Structure 1
Amino acid sequence: MSMSPAKMIIYGSVLFTGSISLSYFIIQKTYSRGLYYKLALEQLQNHPEAQEALGPPVNIHHLKLIGKDNFVDIADAKLKIPVSGSKSEGHLHVHSTRSGPFHRWHLNEVFLELKDGQQISVFNLSGENGDDVKKE
């Protein structure tokens, strides 16, 4: 039994759309399970000024994967994580590095940029704000 060209196009389109959606979901999950992501959220949760600025409860939203704001390769990760709370919303900017493909990720910088433009330094490896994290 042969399928008409119109049905083939419809089924192909559905399959293609489903594949793209699944790929997007898998990439989202991969980013959110990365140590660079988890370390940054841990810093946000433990930073009273950032928590106060956002207001409880703090919600973490899906990354926008299209564009240059979110980038991960073997040794470098840069993310712009959308966050919101009862008082405000903004983005958690994360920069993390590691020395090789099988080494542990280490935060370099994390800052919260609120929608009004205010920036709150959540973590800086240089220790300028006293929020340095031990490297393991």
Structure 2
Amino acid sequence: MRVSNSQLQQLTIFTTVVTGAGTGIMYFLLQKKFSESEYYRLALQELEACPVAMEKLGAPPLKVHNIHLMDRNNRVDQQTAQIKIPVTGSRTGGYLYTCSLRDPITNRWCLKEAALKLREGQTISLLKSSAAAARMQQITYRG
């Protein structure tokens, strides 16, 4: 049985469209899963509660962008969630670096480290602990 070139072209186009759509849907669903997670929400609440960071960004309005799924700073497993969230305000933007740990007893996430690194290079610790700020500095310089 012979298949014409035009049928092969149609099959190729169909396969490409279906694959592209599937990849796009999967990417969207992964982004949605991240944005609905407890560790993600805790980090954004901490940012919004820090008047210094919000003022430097020029927020409100605060715009939260999708995380880069291939970024090495974004690692999540059963006990630890380390993510880098891109954010912008009306003045500037930057990345919100966070590290959360899951409490084994309550099974809830607890934000351990959070720092906003602005485009200009300034880093603002969102948590009060200076030890946490020092650890966050190490994380921001590795990536």
TM-score category, normalised to shorter length: 0.7 to 0.9
Query: TM-score scaled to structure 1, two decimals?
Result: 0.85
Q: What percentage of residue pairs aligned between the two structures are identical?
A: 36
Matching residue within 8, 12, 16 for 1:13 = 16
CA distance in 2, matches of 1:111, 1:42: 12
Name the one with the larger helix percent: 2
CA distance in 1, matches of 2:25, 2:109: 27
CA distance in 2, matches of 1:107, 1:53: 22
Aligned ranges 1:20-59 → 2 under 5 Å:
20-56=23-59, 57-59=61-63
Tell me if 1:70 matches 2:78: no
CA distance in 1, matches of 2:53, 2:87: 11
Structure 1 residue 78, shift from structure 2 partner: 0.9
Query: TM-score scaled to structure 2, two decimals?
Result: 0.81
Uncovered stretches (5+) of structure 2, i.e. residues with no partner? 132-143
Residues 95 and 116 in structure 2, CA contact (< 8 A), matched pair in contact too: yes
Equivalent residue letter for 1:52: E
Equivalent residue letter for 2:18: L
Give 1:91's aligned residue.
95
List structure 1 segments (4+ residues) > 4 angstroms apart after TM superposition.
none
Equivalent residue letter for 1:58: L
Equivalent residue letter for 2:8: P
Instruction: Say how many residue pairs are matched.
Output: 126
Give the superposed CA RMSD.
Answer: 2.1
Greater mean alpha carbon deviation, residues 41-50 or residues 67-76: 67-76
Give 1:82's aligned residue.
86
Give 1:134's aligned residue.
none
CA distance in 2, matches of 1:46, 1:21: 33
Tell me if 1:122 matches 2:126: yes
Instruction: Give the secondary-structure state (helix, strand or coil) at the position aligned to 2:19.
Output: helix
Instruction: Give the secondary-structure state (helix, strand or coil) at the position aligned to 2:108.
Output: coil
Instruction: Give the secondary-structure state (helix, strand or coil) at the position aligned to 1:78.
Output: strand
Give 1:111's aligned residue.
115
Residues 65 and 85 in structure 2, CA contact (< 8 A), matched pair in contact too: yes
Instruction: Give the secondary-structure state (helix, strand or coil) at the position aligned to 2:28.
Output: helix
